[in-house]
Amino acid sequence: MKNLSPLPIKCIDEFEKIRLAKESPTKGRLLILKPSVQQRYDEYDKKFKSNQLESISENTYSSESKADLLHCYKVSTKPLEQLITLIRENQEDHIKRVCQYCGINSDDTMDHYLPKERYPEFCVKSLNLIPCCPRCNQLKGEYWKDKNDNKRGIINLYLDSLPTEQYLFLDLHYNPILRVFGVSFYLDNTSNIDADFFSIIERHYTKLHLLKKYEDRFNHVYQKIYSSFTGSKIFQGNSKIIKQFLLDETNGLKRDFGVNYYKTVITD
């Protein structure tokens, strides 16, 4: 999991480009809504900078206005396609097209961090669009904060500074009868990460079923590593060379994807 880089653009300018690509009467009604959208964008930016997104209230729009705002995203236009492409291309090369919610699948969809059905005015605001895989998008749904305490439950990859300390761990065991390895991933705040943010991490991993996903992927990753040893004459059972290979692999994964990337934890 790595932080995403926000686009250095004025979001209201992107809204205007998308609006101009619409047909009448939608185009005209969106023009009327534009001052309200700008006001809400300003509020979003203010709350974003102060890390208080959860305090943004839901706006009340008429059914027609809500439909027009959602039309900006739900009905594709060239400016919208260009915006989505820019968001993806603005990321570091090694994480492009990889869902950073899970670190496993391709980011074939866009998650609306603040759900578009409840916050339609933000449906084409780039800071509210997070590239992710369809599965994570489906599991997250409209969830982004907990109803019980109003605190966020999904990591915001634009806003939250991801910890450099390890919080993802695994227990590895071998079944001699079946001759297979078993693994259990778990979260542990041994490094004393801020308690409030660690709570967000726990909720994020729970909501997106990440520990189970990583356990399901373990054998695939392990077999790939094992095959590199058995299929190459370079290693030839030399434990010193194998240890150095794993160390180099781990350091590369830590550099590119962070200490809490599931493959980093497996190879470490």
User: What is the 8-class DSSP label of residue 251?
Assistant: H
Residues 6+ apart with CB under 8 A from 194: none
Average pLDDT of the residues of the chain: 90
246 occurs within a structural domain: yes
Looking at the structure, do residues 172 and 133 belong to the same domain, yes or no? no
- Residue 234 pLDDT exceeds 60: no
Burial of 114 (0-12, 13-18, 19+ CB in 10 A): buried
Looking at the structure, do residues 48 and 123 belong to the same domain, yes or no? yes
161 occurs within a structural domain: no
Count of structural domains within the chain: 2
72 occurs within a structural domain: yes
pLDDT band per the 50, 70, 90 thresholds, residue 8: very high
Beta strands 168-175 and 180-187 are antiparallel
**Which of 100, 122, 140 marks a domain boundary?**
140
The domain in which residue 35 lies consists of 11-140
Looking at the structure, do residues 93 and 189 belong to the same domain, yes or no? no
* Predicted pLDDT at 220: 73
Do the Cβ atoms of 33 and 26 come closer than 8 Å? no
148 occurs within a structural domain: no
Looking at the structure, do residues 28 and 131 belong to the same domain, yes or no? yes
Looking at the structure, do residues 26 and 102 belong to the same domain, yes or no? yes
Looking at the structure, do residues 15 and 125 belong to the same domain, yes or no? yes
198 occurs within a structural domain: yes
- Residue 112 pLDDT exceeds 90: yes
Report CA 243 to chain centroid distance, whole Å: 32
Burial of 83 (0-12, 13-18, 19+ CB in 10 A): buried
> By three-state DSSP, how is residue 37 classified?
helix
Nearest Cα to Cα of residue 77 among 7, 127, 23? 23
pLDDT band per the 50, 70, 90 thresholds, residue 242: low
